[in-house]
Amino acid sequence: MLLRGLTWLVLFQLLGTAINVLFLTLLPGPIIGMLLLFAFLVVRGEVGAPIAEASSGLLRYLPLLLVPPAVGVMVYAEQIAADFWALAGALGLSLIVSLLFAGWLMQKLIDRQARREERP
């Protein structure tokens, strides 16, 4: 099951990378693959056991992926301090946009669930 789930995840990443190289160079390939995986799971209506098992297995190692950025922040602290206000503005703006999008999406999902429950 784990191998099947990892195969699905890698397949969507490769598909996203192929689309990135061939058509859409604005977004990175893994982001496109993640959006394709999200669309696939929404259309399917559920997360299968193989994908759930593979993703939960990978989540255990997520802290290891956060160590290099933390080291980068420590090494480049002087350059980050020089551009503090630009970085703070970009982070604040992205936070506001993300919160608005998450609220809008949550409202759409609540409405969709309510419509599903109304049907006999």
Domain that holds residue 9: 1-60
**For the chain, what is the mean pLDDT?**
89
- From 60, 84, 108, the end of a domain falls on 60
User: In this structure, are 49 and 5 located in the same domain?
Assistant: yes
User: In this structure, are 55 and 7 located in the same domain?
Assistant: yes
Query: pTM score > 0.85 for this model?
Result: no
- Under DSSP, the state recorded for 120 is -
Q: What's the rounded Cα separation, in Å, for the pair 78 and 112?
A: 48
**In the chain, how many domains are there?**
2
Residue 103 — pLDDT band, cuts 50, 70, 90? very high
Q: Does 67 score more than 90 pLDDT?
A: no
User: In this structure, are 73 and 44 located in the same domain?
Assistant: no
